[in-house]
């Protein structure tokens, strides 16, 4: 298969990097490297491997991740599944890169040593389907419930075991962490939560009734339960970040502090400050 012009240029740029320079040892610092499968991320990986020596992923204490926000979430979920969370320093070789640092080739060891550590705790979703199957998935950004057909979803919402809203007629509803409050939650007109707020956002998606209910901000130790009304006639799916469970009857969501994750940021580019400044975005 012939390379595209962009692939050839990226390969040529990568070949120029590192010539005449001694490699910097990051393996001794137990720093490993991961990248997404996009050509831009792979070209950046080639440059970094020419400039630095790296520890194997399984032997690393810290990881550098190249890609976009989707790849960062994929990396964090893989660590949650493996039960071995490691600090991650992301560099943006994707589109938005809200969870990533700026891409730069030089002084990487110094950047990681001086990085600001931000700890985030995931949500734990327990979804029970109409047929009685139970699925458990983690969500770093949000857990969202979405109607599967043209039929409006009807959902009962319980907070700490008490019915808070007997019936929400809507396209869906979501629970977002502070880290995820600027993602889908913000698009659904939910509030931006500062990272230190210790709150969760409960946000309706296109609510029909009650029409004026705009959601709620809850303490992050709150247990939220969604019961799907008329679940067979009005099917609803539950999505924990990218993991979907279809035809759910009940969805329970709570914060899982025991599996917190650590993201590393350049001090001038830290996630907590970026989330706060999103309140002033126009």
Q: Which domains does the chain have, with CATH numbers?
A: 5-120+260-280 (3.40.50.10330), 123-257 (2.60.200.30)
Task: Judge whether residue 56 has pLDDT over 70.
Answer: yes
Residues 6 or more apart whose Cβ sits within 8 Å of residue 4: 39
Residue 175: what pLDDT?
Answer: 98
* Known binding-site residue numbers: 69-70, 141-142, 171, 179, 182-187
Mean pLDDT of 168-196: 95
Using a pLDDT cut of 90, give the percent of the chain over it.
82
Which H or E run includes 277? helix 271-277
Residue 138: what pLDDT?
Answer: 97
Residue 84 pLDDT grade (very low, low, confident, very high; cuts 50, 70, 90): confident
* Known binding-site residue numbers for NAD(+): 69-70, 141-142, 171, 179, 182-187
Task: Judge whether residue 13 has pLDDT over 60.
Answer: no
Percent helix, strand, coil in the chain, to 5, is 25, 40, 35
Structural contact between residues 204 and 168, judged by C-beta atoms closer than 8 angstroms: yes
Instruction: Quote the DSSP letter at residue 198.
Output: -
Residue 269 pLDDT grade (very low, low, confident, very high; cuts 50, 70, 90): confident
Residue 14: what pLDDT?
Answer: 44
Q: What angle do CA 85, 89, 93 make, to 5 degrees?
A: 120
Of 10-19, 173-182, 261-270, which gets the smallest average pLDDT? 10-19
Task: Judge whether residue 20 has pLDDT over 70.
Answer: no
Annotated catalytic sites, by residue? 69
Residue 21 pLDDT grade (very low, low, confident, very high; cuts 50, 70, 90): low
Q: Measured between alpha carbons, how far is 33 from 23 in angstroms, rounded to an integer? A: 15
Which has the higher per-residue pLDDT, 4 or 225? 225
Structural contact between residues 271 and 101, judged by C-beta atoms closer than 8 angstroms: no
Residue 280: what pLDDT?
Answer: 87
Residue 276: what pLDDT?
Answer: 86
Residue 22: what pLDDT?
Answer: 75
Task: Judge whether residue 34 has pLDDT over 60.
Answer: yes
Residue 274 pLDDT grade (very low, low, confident, very high; cuts 50, 70, 90): confident
Q: Measured between alpha carbons, how far is 26 from 94 in angstroms, rounded to an integer? A: 24
Q: Measured between alpha carbons, how far is 211 from 199 in angstroms, rounded to an integer? A: 24
Mean pLDDT of 199-207: 97
Average pLDDT score over the chain: 91
Using a pLDDT cut of 70, give the percent of the chain over it.
93
Task: Judge whether residue 281 has pLDDT over 60.
Answer: yes
pTM for the model: 0.86
Q: What angle do CA 146, 214, 234 make, to 5 degrees?
A: 25
Residue 15: what pLDDT?
Answer: 45
DSSP bridge partners of 270? none
Mean pLDDT of 9-29: 64
Of 11-15, 129-133, 151-155, 188-192, which gets the smallest average pLDDT? 11-15
Task: Judge whether residue 3 has pLDDT over 80.
Answer: no
């Amino acid at each position: 298969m012939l390379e595209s012009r962009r692939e050839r240029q990226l390969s040529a740029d990568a070949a120029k990097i590192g010539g005449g320079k001694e490699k910097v040892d990051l393996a001794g610092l137990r720093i490993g490297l991961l990248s997404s499968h996009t050509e831009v991320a792979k070209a950046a990986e080639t440059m970094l491997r020419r400039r630095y020596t790296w520890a194997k992923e399984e032997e690393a204490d810290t990881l550098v991740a190249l890609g976009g926000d989707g790849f960062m979430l994929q990396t964090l979920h893989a660590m949650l599944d493996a039960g071995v969370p490691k600090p991650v320093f992301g560099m943006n070789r994707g589109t938005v890169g809200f969870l990533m640092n700026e891409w730069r080739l030089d002084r990487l060891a110094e950047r990681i040593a001086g990085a600001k550590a931000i700890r985030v705790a995931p949500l734990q979703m327990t979804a029970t389907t109409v047929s009685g199957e139970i699925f458990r998935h983690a969500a770093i950004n949000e857990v969202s419930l979405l109607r599967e057909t043209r039929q409006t979803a009807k959902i009962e919402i319980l907070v700490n075991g008490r019915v808070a809203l007997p019936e929400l007629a809507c396209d869906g509803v979501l629970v977002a962490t502070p880290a995820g409050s600027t993602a889908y939650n913000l698009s659904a007109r939910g509030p931006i939560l500062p990272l230190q707020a210790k709150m969760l956002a409960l946000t309706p998606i296109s609510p029909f009734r009650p029409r004026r209910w705009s959601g709620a901000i809850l303490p992050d130790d709150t247990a939220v339960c969604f019961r799907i009304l008329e679940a067979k006639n009005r099917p609803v799916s539950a999505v924990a970040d990218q993991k979907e469970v279809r035809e759910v009857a009940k969805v329970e969501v709570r914060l899982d502090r025991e599996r917190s994750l650590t993201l590393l940021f350049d001090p001038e580019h830290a996630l907590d400050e970026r989330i706060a400044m999103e309140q002033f975005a126009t």
